[in-house]
Amino acid sequence: MVSIVGAGPGAADLLTVRALRRLGQADVVLYDNLVSAEVMALCAPDATLIYSGKKYGDHVDPRQRQQEINEAMVAYARQGKRVVRLKSGDPFIFGRAAEEIRYLTAQQVPYEVVPGLTAGLAAASLVHIPVTERNHSNAVLLCTAHTANYDFEQLDALANMLRTGTTLVMYMGLSNMPQVVAKLQAAVGPDAVYVSAISHVSGSQQRLVTALLPDIEAALAQAALPMPVVFIIGKYACSLDEAAAHLHSLS
């Protein structure tokens, strides 16, 4: 059995009970780059821990790295090992769980998926941003700043959805923020749109920066937020605490 497990956004106490159980039972854990040390500390003491991460700036062919991960899962499972493939957030949110499942199926290796709390939605809750709220925003879209081919074709469509009131939860956008801002600003025009950037979601170093769309690049440059960063973008994408403080200052 291979268990494809969501590690959540980082804090160990945001794991599901099932994920915690699988980590304690595992003989082998293949873990991603963004899995926190706090979560890794919950693995069985005698488990074999194998780093299988892929991150921005790596000079490694991601297809080759993924093939190595696929083959390792199958090899250890066929040795009778209890294998955990540990992914940050939720396995099906901008991960390669689908590819891994197809490979396991082709190799006739049984598997299960243990869901995890995705960083984008966790970030919204932790900093008190209601990504959906009655009479304000009735839709939320999980997206990335670029496609798998590292182009920006989808930004036009995202910008139009933003203009109609959809809240965007955007992953992998920090290094591409100039392109994102330019496209979104062209679509929304003078409408007030907030951007909230949350770094190290749920960790002890979590930080929040919020600014209006035209000002977010300057705010990010001043704050120098470290990766990983999740962005929440929309007409109401500021925390309830900040909104209340603003209203108080006007009264």
Contacts of 34 (CB under 8 A, 6+ apart): 10, 53, 55, 88, 89, 228
| Residue whose pair of structure tokens reads 């929309």 in the numeric block | 234
Q: Is the pLDDT of residue 154 over 90?
A: no
Give the confidence band of 163 by pLDDT, cuts at 50, 70, 90: confident
The pLDDT, as a whole number, for residue 246 is 52
Low-confidence winner among 24-33, 143-152, 176-185 (lowest mean pLDDT): 143-152
Look at residues 98, 201, 96, 93 and name the one whose alpha carbon lies nearest to residue 143.
Answer: 93
The pLDDT, as a whole number, for residue 213 is 95
All structural domains of the chain, each given as residue ranges with its CATH number in brackets, are 2-114 (3.40.1010.10), 119-246 (3.30.950.10)
Q: Could you tell me what percent of the chain has a pLDDT over 70?
A: 92
Long-range contacts of 109-112 (CB under 8 A, 24+ apart): 109/2, 109/73, 109/74, 109/77, 109/78, 110/1, 110/2, 111/1, 111/2, 111/3, 111/4, 112/1, 112/2, 112/3, 112/4
Q: Is the pLDDT of residue 247 over 50?
A: no
Mean pLDDT computed over 216-231: 95
The residues that are catalytic are: 32, 54
Count the Cβ atoms, other than its own, within 10 Å of residue 132. 14
**Mean pLDDT comparison of 74-88, 131-145, 155-169, highest-scoring range:** 74-88
Low-confidence winner among 12-21, 137-146, 210-219 (lowest mean pLDDT): 137-146
Q: Which structure tokens are listed for 7?
A: 């590690």
Mean pLDDT of the chain: 90
Low-confidence winner among 3-17, 19-33, 54-68 (lowest mean pLDDT): 54-68
Contacts of 22 (CB under 8 A, 6+ apart): 3, 5, 84, 114
Q: Is the pLDDT of residue 108 over 70?
A: yes
The pLDDT, as a whole number, for residue 248 is 43
Quote the pTM value: 0.89
